[in-house]
């Protein structure tokens, strides 16, 4: 992708995108590097309103992280432990059942399953977890595992992506998580997660899910060694897949957090860079309906700002059921449904509780 920014001004590009024109990669790069924060925010909110009006979504969910022991050793990861590490864990089915039981009467509409790729993980072991959660929470949607986890057990079992995903669907899985995408650019991936499956395989797994009628989300890990052009290239590959399948519900830019990992010396990007990335993603990804500002990653105050830059979803109650960002140094308090509603309303938008598929849930008050 060319870095030539002389073709059109940021102002001209923003005017065009507000009018409904699809951004090119070179246009998006101009916006990422040259547009004023105020102009980016105004354009992103205008596009957001065209797609979802004044609504901002949240849900009642919790996470189960069966293990943080992982066969991959990504340089950016603060969550991963080896099997011999005293901070490592690997839940039994009884452990999973106890965690589910803690939330059984709380009106949960989504259970989010994701963790490390344990070297001894098997397809049947993962399916057992999904079956257990389905038995205990028959009304909740199950968002089960990242593409990286699926790829590992499918390869190990010697089955195709579609055959493996059918097993998960039959077990009770409704959708996949968006994790493991990181940055698709191979030269960056080689430096930050060289032993992880390629970005191409991530895309192929999600394409297989979409072709089976299984919707998914997509993520991008930003703010480390990647360039702005790498971010836009990543989003372009997602947009192309979405043109072909229409299977992505939401895009979630995930900020690199530096505590406790082997890239800590890089520090972290600024809040302005976070907001700029969110706004450009809303403008560029014209075919993905929702842009999520994941509050456990940003924190509550930054999430309020994100809603003025085109995000229309903040995720859910989550609280202390995920350690992926807390182990990277993020101190985020638990948020109740009332606090999530207040956060959205204080930002000037209409709070809407949703289910996993963005259907409105009747008010609980």
258 domain-assigned: yes
* Amino acid 299: pLDDT: 85
Q: Is residue 262 part of a domain?
A: yes
> Residue 3's pLDDT is what?
46
| Selection from 206, 142, 145 nearest residue 172 by Cα | 142
Give pLDDT, residue 363: 61
pTM of the full structure: 0.94
Q: Structurally, how many domains does the chain consist of?
A: 1
| Consecutive 10-residue averages of pLDDT for the chain (365 residues) | 63 96 97 97 97 96 94 92 91 96 89 95 98 97 98 98 98 97 98 97 98 98 98 98 98 93 94 98 98 90 94 86 55 78 95 97 68
Domain contains 22: no
Residues 6+ apart with CB under 8 A from 90: 66, 67, 69, 83, 118
Contacts of 344 (CB under 8 A, 6+ apart): 56, 58, 307, 314, 350, 351
Backbone phi, psi, residue 205, to 5°: -65, -45
Q: What is the CATH number of the domain that holds 327?
A: 3.20.20.70
Task: Tell whether 46 is covered by a domain.
Answer: no
Give residue 194's domain range.
Answer: 56-353
CA distances, 68 to each of 116, 130, 268 (Å): 5, 18, 23
Is 50 domain-assigned?
Answer: no
Question: Where are any strands of DSSP class E within 158-279?
Answer: 216-222, 248-255
- For 154, the 3-state DSSP assignment is helix
């Amino acid at each position: 992708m060319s870095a030539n920014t002389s073709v059109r001004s940021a102002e001209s590009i923003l005017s065009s995108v507000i009018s409904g024109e699809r951004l090119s990669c070179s246009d998006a790069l101009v916006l990422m590097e040259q547009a004023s924060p105020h102009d980016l925010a105004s354009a992103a909110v205008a596009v957001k309103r065209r797609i979802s009006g004044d609504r901002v979504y949240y849900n009642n969910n919790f996470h189960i992280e069966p293990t943080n022991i992982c066969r991959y050793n990504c340089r950016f990861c603060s969550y991963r432990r080896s099997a011999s590490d005293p901070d490592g864990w690997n839940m039994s089915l009884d452990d999973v059942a106890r965690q589910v039981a803690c939330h059984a009467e709380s009106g949960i509409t989504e259970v989010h399953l994701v963790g490390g790729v344990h070297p001894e993980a098997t397809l049947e072991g993962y399916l057992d977890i999904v079956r257990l959660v389905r038995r205990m929470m028959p009304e909740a949607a199950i968002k089960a595992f990242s593409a990286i986890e699926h790829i590992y057990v499918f390869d190990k079992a010697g089955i195709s992506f579609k055959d493996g995903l059918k097993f998960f669907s039959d077990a009770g899985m409704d959708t996949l998580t968006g994790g493991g995408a990181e940055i698709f650019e191979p030269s960056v991936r080689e430096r930050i997660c060289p032993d992880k499956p390629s970005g191409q395989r991530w895309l192929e797994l999600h394409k297989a899910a979409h072709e089976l009628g299984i919707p998914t989300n997509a993520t991008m890990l930003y703010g480390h060694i990647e360039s702005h052009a790498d971010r836009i290239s990543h989003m372009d590959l997602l947009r192309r897949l979405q043109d072909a399948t229409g299977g992505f519900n939401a895009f979630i830019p995930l900020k690199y957090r530096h505590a406790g990992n082997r890239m800590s010396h890089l520090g972290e990007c600024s809040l302005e860079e976070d907001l700029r990335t969110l706004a450009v993603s809303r403008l560029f990804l014209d075919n993905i309906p929702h842009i999520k500002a994941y509050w456990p990653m940003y924190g509550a105050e930054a999430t309020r700002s994100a809603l003025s830059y085109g995000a229309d979803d903040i995720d859910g109650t989550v609280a202390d059921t995920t350690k992926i960002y807390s182990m990277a140094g993020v101190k985020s308090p638990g948020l109740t449904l009332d606090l999530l509603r207040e956060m959205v309303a204080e930002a000037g938008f209409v709070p809407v509780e949703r289910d996993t598929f963005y259907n409105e849930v009747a008010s609980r008050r």
